[in-house]
Amino acid sequence: MKFLRNLLAAILGTLIALGIIFMFFLIIATLTGSSDQTVAVKSNSVLEINFKEPIKDYGGKYKFTDIDYKFEEYNGLNTILPAIRAAAKDDKIKGISINNSFLTTGAANTKAIRDAIEEFKESGKFVYAYGDIFLQKDYYLASVADSVFLNPAGELDFRGLSSEVLYLKDLQEKSGIKMEVIRHGKYKSAVEPYLTDEMSDENREQISELLSSVWNTYLEDIAESRGQSVEQLNAFADELAARSPELALENNFVDGLSYVDQYNKLLRENLNLKKRDKINSVNIIDYAEYVSKKKKTAGKDKIAVVYAQGEIGFGKGNDNYIGQEVMSKALKAAREDDDVKAIVLRINSPGGMALTSDIIWREIEVTKKVKPVVVSMGNLAASGGYYMAVAGDKIFAEPATITGSIGVFATIPNASRLAEKWGINAEQVNTNENATAYSLFEPASDSFKAFAKEGIEDFYQDFLQKVADGRNLSVPEVDSVAQGRVWSGVQAKEHRLVDEIGGLNKAVAYAAQTTGAEDYVVANYPVYETNIKELLQGASGLGFLESREDVLKEELGEEIYNIMQRIKAVSTQKGLQARMPFEINIK
């Protein structure tokens, strides 16, 4: 019996080992195959702008440390924008077709793509847009086209921007679990939902002004493209004057109502194709790969672009969150490369852990003593993101960038009321008076709150001083625009928190001009290191293995999954937080 058991165990172990080996070679074959494939761009083609996945600032470069394999993703602005510019000069590309619904990126990145297409139009090539459904961000992008077409049974949403904040004070009281909150800044409303059941006047003021600034950016661009006035567009939004396809056509939001086959007929006519001829189209992500692999890789000089994207955490960091290890390594590599003449730090972050923000700030300070550091802000560069930015020599922001949020807070969960309700009594034994820093099951002591407040005040004053030094302002001047308040890029420039309005392209051009670099190439950092184990766990984001997050998202739905992620983020926050003061979802 024992022999049979051992035999079965040996057979089972062998099968598992063979399965692992098979999976390993399958992964290698998949990676190698995908990297070797060359995107084919045929003559007389249309560049299709259709983003099916979220758009990052940086697609990313990746390195497998255990098998010495490298690859690159091409779904970031770092490759998308150069691809659109290259298409203007590519004889094979005759025009652009925008066919995008449910665009998942921020307002600043949407504008960057829109501006690139506006620049493309100068080539004289056509730009058309078609949609079954145009949400507001989709329409903002589509409105840059020469002509916009809507499905006769479709929808076009144009109503103004809105943001919703959930307040949890009553929920805490009913559940017996509350968040102990220590903060500085009357606008530091990331913690406001735990303290009250309704929005404060200060928070309502800042959100209202922020939304108005972003909305005005939308309106000004749409008005110019569609030959409307901003006042007329605002009136249309109030009246929901695009609520049906017929009204959208009547009020000049679109140029025609057509089904996709009719739209394709228009494309064929512009391509001089016959009725049955196939339209040669290439998706923007595929074309971005094509352009990236063709572009010049050697030049006399380099401008390094270091991407900091995601929330700021502690530790290594990856393509979804900013950690001090990856960022420090990238900045060090760029400053020690003799061919790199200047560094552009591209920030897209709502902030996060204060300690990590300070560690990266210091690395930027060290770097700019060696080479100029220019900062480019994406959708977000708030709180800890702004903390890093002030170390730069010059700061560029998009008009719709959300930035500022100069403030700090701490939140600690407390279940003392729940413990009392359920008859749980926590007893501590200490060697010293403050040995128990904090107990989840006991009310926060006055001494704990005092020490926490002291730490927050110290960090806030340090934050103010760093901004004052970096922006050549006095501490009182910074404090007057700080207090945790957020600003759009346009507002931030008015308050001298940024220097120029412009995108990454403008920041890179400035960095090159400052150093006298002419024949230069852009070198992107960081390189994210991973391994087979992370890949098998679905942590590398390659897409061909379904991760636990993918399964949860599919089962729960996008909205519930996002709520769960926010709760998870709050529960894992440690230490002081320099984070954007509210979860803003502009829609």
The residues annotated with a catalytic role in the active site are: 188, 383
How far apart CA 242 and CA 239 sit, in angstroms, is 8
Instruction: Identify the burial level of 114 via C-beta atoms within 10 angstroms of its C-beta, where 0-12 means exposed, 13-18 middle and 19 or more buried.
Output: buried
Beta strands 178-184; 301-309: pairing state: unpaired
Cα–Cα nearest to 320, from 117, 56, 569, 39: 56
The amino acid that residue 256 corresponds to is G
Query: How many CB atoms neighbour CB 400 within 10 A?
Result: 25
**CA 568, 574, 579: angle at the middle one, nearest 5?**
80
- What does the alpha-carbon distance between residue 207 and residue 581 come to, in Å, rounded to a whole number? 10
Counts of helices then strands in the chain (DSSP H, E): 22, 23
Cβ pair 510, 230 in contact under 8 A? no
Residue 144 burial by Cβ neighbours in a 10 Å radius (0-12, 13-18, 19+): buried
The Cβ of residue 256 has, within 10 Å, a number of other Cβ atoms equal to: 14
Residue 50, sorted as left (phi over 0), alpha (psi -120 to 50) or beta, turns out to be beta
CA atoms of 550 and 250, how far apart (whole Å) = 42
Q: For residue 396, list its beta bridge partners.
A: 376, 500
